[in-house]
């Protein structure tokens, strides 16, 4: 053992991984920021009654969910410059790939949530004279929010771990930092330390969603 | 007040309404009775623009919702159509309250969104109507904390908040046990005394006879009888009605 029996070395290891952790956090929050609204838009387009809209969107979802995220990261990082002639920053490509991929998963979760709202809610709004947009924002969306918390929390927990995939295009996130440290010192321990980082982060994510679920338990439907 | 003529409506091959006509004057309470599947709900849903008719005309307060042009039903344009439908109110069998909103917000939200009322005005109206249905103490409660009868009274108050000219009820007590049924019927009875125009689909024959001015009996998508409550349900009621009532 090189680190686990040496607090000082361990502390140095942890602080050397700080930068990687910051990058991991950036990927994580940026992906959520973009993929959740995008997922809602995709869900609505997927439910559009015009097949010219819903069919291409279904295809998009199929491709995003049906191919490895790792491949998508490669594809965006290497193919976009070839097609457009503009180079993409590694982080930009990463966040773009993650957002497009996670939006597809969120879209299907949101679609399930929206479809689970009883038709009676729409009819009540209709006879009260509410517009479709009012119905969506004031009646449907708040109820969908509660219904999708659990599947969304699953996705968010997966995202925490998936950020490590960014290391395939040499983004210096947490896992890459740990891997470099591991090979430099010929020790596996840095990888376990990285694992601990992910675990703690997901502990916090779990706590956050538990709180949110509790906050939303003021009503039953 | 309301005039529907020659309404036709099919779902696929099922002809649910076959040439149904209905007139309701101001202040009149009309009960619609008939076996399950006879088309009562579909008729009410057509009147409230929850279903589009395949044929026929509907006029509300003299204004046309749908008219026949060259043999085809033509509806008003979207904006006018919604404005016209504000004259109608509807109470469903299963309430359809907004579960994520408090009772008070169930009543104020549509007023603010649709009628543009301010917080104060909407709340005053809501509290006024909650008092009327006997639920002043439940303003802060959520629908899941109420009994079925209380939910239905909230739904009635919510509909009344929009000041409809005509209020429709689709079997408002069918999901309730006898005691809760009475508390809801009591509210409707009081509305009838205030001379509100109402159309009530119901299985409560006694209620229909006592409260309604007119009773319509439907069978298989046609109106079989339409007359004063005493005539349709009184001592001289027809064999069809007797059979329906299981006598
Ligand atoms: N949305 C629908 N799609 C297909 N059939 C329907 C639909 N709504 C009602 N029906 C049919 O229309 C008939 C009349 O239904 P309804 O108006 O609900 O009758 P009632 O309210 O008198 O019980 C029934 O046979 C029912 O199955
Ligand atoms: Mg019915």
- 3-state DSSP helix/strand/coil % of chain B, to nearest 5: 40, 30, 30
**For B113, which of A124, A130, A221 is closest by C-beta distance?**
A130
Number of A to B CB contacts under 8 A, please give it.
61
The stretches of chain A forming alpha helices (DSSP H) are 7-16, 18-46, 51-66, 69-74, 80-84, 90-115, 119-128, 132-134, 141-162, 174-185, 189-215
In testing the pocket of ligand 1, which one of B14, B17, B18, B35 has its CB within 8 Å of the most ligand atoms? B14
Q: If DSSP codes are grouped into helix, strand and coil, which group holds residue B98?
A: coil
Domain that holds residue A116: 7-218
B97 CB neighbour count, 10 Å cutoff: 24
User: What string of pLDDT tens digits covers the 221 residues of chain A?
Assistant: 778 888 888 888 888 889 999 999 999 999 999 999 999 999 999 999 999 999 999 999 999 999 999 999 999 999 888 888 888 899 999 999 999 999 999 999 999 999 999 999 999 999 999 999 999 999 999 999 999 999 999 999 999 999 999 999 989 999 999 999 899 989 999 999 999 999 999 999 999 999 999 999 999 88
Question: Whose structure tokens read 């969506």?
Answer: A136
Locate CATH 3.40.50.300 in chain B.
2-87+164-244
The verdict on residue A63 lying in a domain is yes
CATH fold of the domain at B2-87+164-244: Rossmann fold (3.40.50)
Q: Which of residues 83-122 of A touch B (CB under 8 A)?
A: 118, 120-121
Question: Whose structure tokens read 């809501």?
Answer: B126
What is the residue with the minimal CA distance to atom 12 of ligand 1? B16
Listed residue (A177, A209, A210) closest to A194, CA to CA: A177
Q: Do B100 and A220 touch (CB under 8 A)?
A: no
Enumerate the β-bridge partners of residue B169. B91, B200
For the cut 80, the answer to whether the pLDDT of residue B247 exceeds it is: no
Tell me the mean pLDDT in the region B90-109: 96
B45 CB neighbour count, 10 Å cutoff: 20
**For A121, which of B49, B96, B159 is closest by C-beta distance?**
B96
The verdict on residue A17 lying in a domain is yes
The verdict on residue A40 lying in a domain is yes
Min Cα–Cα distance to chain B from A114, Å: 15
Task: Give the Cα separation of A33 and A39 in Å (integer).
Answer: 11
Q: Do B97 and A131 touch (CB under 8 A)?
A: no
Domain harbouring A190, CATH code? 1.10.3720.10
Atom of ligand 1 nearest to the CA of B43: 17
The verdict on residue A2 lying in a domain is no
Task: Give the Cα separation of B60 and B40 in Å (integer).
Answer: 19
Atom of ligand 1 nearest to the CA of B42: 17
Cα B180 off chain centre by: 19
Number of domains in chain A: 1
The verdict on residue A111 lying in a domain is yes
Could you tell me which chain B residue has the CA closest to the CA of A125?
B110
The verdict on residue A74 lying in a domain is yes
Residue B67 backbone dihedrals phi, psi, to 5 degrees = -130, 160
């Amino acid at each position: 053992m090189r680190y686990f029996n040496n607090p000082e070395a361990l502390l140095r290891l942890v602080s050397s991984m700080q930068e990687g952790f910051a990058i991991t956090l950036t990927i994580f929050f940026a992906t959520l920021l973009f993929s959740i609204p995008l997922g809602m838009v995709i869900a609505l387009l997927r439910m559009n009654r015009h097949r010219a809209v819903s069919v291409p969107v279904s295809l998009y979802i199929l491709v995003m969910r049906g191919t490895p995220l790792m491949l998508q990261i490669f594809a965006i990082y290497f193919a976009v410059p070839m097609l457009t002639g503009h180079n993409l920053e590694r982080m930009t490509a990463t966040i773009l790939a993650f957002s497009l991929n996670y939006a597809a998963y969120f879209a299907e979760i949101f679609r399930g949530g929206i479809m689970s709202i009883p038709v009676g809610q729409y009819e009540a709004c209709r006879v009260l004279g509410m517009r479709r947009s009012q119905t969506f924002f004031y009646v449907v969306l708040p109820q969908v929010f509660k219904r999708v918390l659990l599947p969304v929390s699953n996705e968010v927990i997966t995202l925490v771990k998936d950020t490590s995939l960014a290391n395939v295009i040499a983004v210096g996130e947490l896992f890459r930092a740990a891997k470099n440290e591991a090979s430099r010192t010929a020790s596996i321990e840095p990888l376990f330390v990285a694992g601990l980082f992910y675990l703690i982060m997901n502990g916090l994510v779990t706590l956050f969603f538990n709180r949110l679920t509790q906050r939303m338990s003021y009503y039953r439907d | 007040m309301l005039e529907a003529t020659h309404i036709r409506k099919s779902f696929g091959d099922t002809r649910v309404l076959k040439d149904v006509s209905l007139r309701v004057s101001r202040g009149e309470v009309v009960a619609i009775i008939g076996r399950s599947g006879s088309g009562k709900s579909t008729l009410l849903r057509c009147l409230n623009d929850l279903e589009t008719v395949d044929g026929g005309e509907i006029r509300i307060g003299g204004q046309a919702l749908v008219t026949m042009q060259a043999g085809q039903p033509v509806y008003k344009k979207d904006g006018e159509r919604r404005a016209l439908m504000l004259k109608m109110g509807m109470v469903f069998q299963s309430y359809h309250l907004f579960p994520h909103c408090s009772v008070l917000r169930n009543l104020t939200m549509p007023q603010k969104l649709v009628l543009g009322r301010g917080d104060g005005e909407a709340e005053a109206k809501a509290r006024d109507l909650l008092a009327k249905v006997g639920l002043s103490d439940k303003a802060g409660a959520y629908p899941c904390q109420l009994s079925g009868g209380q939910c239905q009274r909230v739904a009635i108050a919510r509909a009344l908040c929009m000041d409809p000219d005509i209020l429709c009820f689709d079997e408002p007590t069918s999901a309730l046990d006898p005691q809760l049924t009475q508390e809801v019927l009591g509210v409707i009875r009081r509305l009838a005394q205030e001379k509100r125009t109402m159309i009530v689909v119901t299985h409560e024959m006694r209620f229909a006879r006592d409260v309604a001015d007119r009773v319509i009996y439907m069978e298989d998508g046609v109106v079989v009888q339409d007359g004063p409550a005493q005539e349709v349900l009184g001592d001289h009621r027809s064999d069809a009605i007797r059979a329906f009532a299981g006598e």
